[in-house]
Chains A and B, each alone.
Chain A
Amino acid sequence: MTGQNKKIIAFCCAESAYRAADRAGRLGIHYPDNVRVIRVPCAGRVSVLHILKAFEKGAAGVLVMGCQEGACRHLTGNIRAKERAKYAEDLLKEVGINGQRVKVVNFGPDMAQKFAREIEEMVEKIKEE
């Protein structure tokens, strides 16, 4: 598979990243179409198992997109997401999947440009593999 058609899963917090994705669509900002956006109530909902399953089903990269630090509606969901993503990355390393394929990004709901940029960066990263 080339970098263009490798799948990327983006778990997007409904309060921030999902709105940013929505905004990107409304503003006509282009971003790679191999990303699959999954709306979650909070980035803290994304468990280690969700991340591993994404790779098991063929994803080449996972983005966990939550609110900015201090702005989580559920107080610490974004902090937990960060810790879990780190743990998932360690588990993937054990399997032999290296190279920062799991990334946590903090968003505000109006950051449509950033949303597109993060997707592009991940596509570039998995292209190198």
Chain B
Amino acid sequence: MVIAERKPLGEIRNMLAGYKRILVVGCGTCVTICWAGGEKEVGILSSQLRLASSKDGNELSIIEAVVERQCEKEMVEELRDKVQEVDAILSMGCGVGVQTIADIFEEKPIFPALNTTFIGMPEAEGLWTEKCGACGDCLLYWTGGICPVVRCAKGLLNGPCGGTRKGGKCEIDPEKDCAWVLIYRRLERQGRLDLMRKYYEPKNYRAVKRPGKVQAMQA
């Protein structure tokens, strides 16, 4: 899923300077799960904005809303009535959500309240880590399902760099596991260590032309 973090309140307030009526829109999917832009976070940010603005004697009128998925035009369309009542929209969705709203309500200024950071998964309560770089040329079939492109600090494709620390930690960040130690152990468990000896050609990092586009056939 897409992982995001909220921007500092000061930055959000600077973006909103001059606007009086704001619609704060959360998203019920990825950013709800990573505690960045769900219903609760919409409530917290709106409350902070109201408190900060009343402290400055510059009261804001805030409408709160959450759509199931901000990246779906049909779902964003449900906001139309609320959008008409405001001067600006503050999206608590990922970058895709912000752009979907911007495309549908072109006449309204839209501001992102989050920084979209990566595609990842929950590791523990309140901790998410990056697992996929969306490179468009997946190599997981020969690395035991562990991606060296994003999980190795150097993105190496043919084994570890030589700087692996004792205990299988990365030389760049001792908090992180060396991806190639993880790959070795996984392949060993599966009896596929021969894959470690195989040489892999330099990876095609241009597999996805930016901006990416996928046209699927209907099943």
Residues of A in contact with B (beta carbons under 8 Å apart):
47-49, 52-53, 55-56, 91-92, 94-97
Contact = CB atoms under 8 A, between A and B. Distances in A.
Given A95-B55, A96-B52, A49 B9 contact: no
Contacts of B44: 48-49, 52, 91
A56 B51 contact: yes
Contacts of B50: 56
Given A47-B40, A91-B44, A95-B48, 6 more contacts: A48-B44, A49-B47, A56-B47, A56-B50, A94-B10, A95-B52
Contacts of A49: 40, 43-44, 47
A91 B47 CA distance: 10
Contacts of A48: 40, 44
A95 B49 CA distance: 8
DSSP majority for the A interface? helix
Nearest to A48: B44
B167 interface: no
Contacts of A95: 9, 48, 51-52, 55
Nearest to A54: B47
Contacts of B43: 49, 52
Contacts of A94: 8-10, 48
A97 B53 CA distance: 12
Given A49-B40, A49-B43, A91 B48 contact: yes
A64 to B, nearest CB: 17
A55 to B, nearest CB: 6
A55 B51 contact: yes
Nearest to A91: B48
Nearest to B53: A95
Contacts of B40: 47-49
Residue of A48, A52, A95, A97 with highest tally of chain B CB at under 10 A: A95
A22 to B, nearest CB: 31
Interface string B1-33: 000000011100000000000000000000000
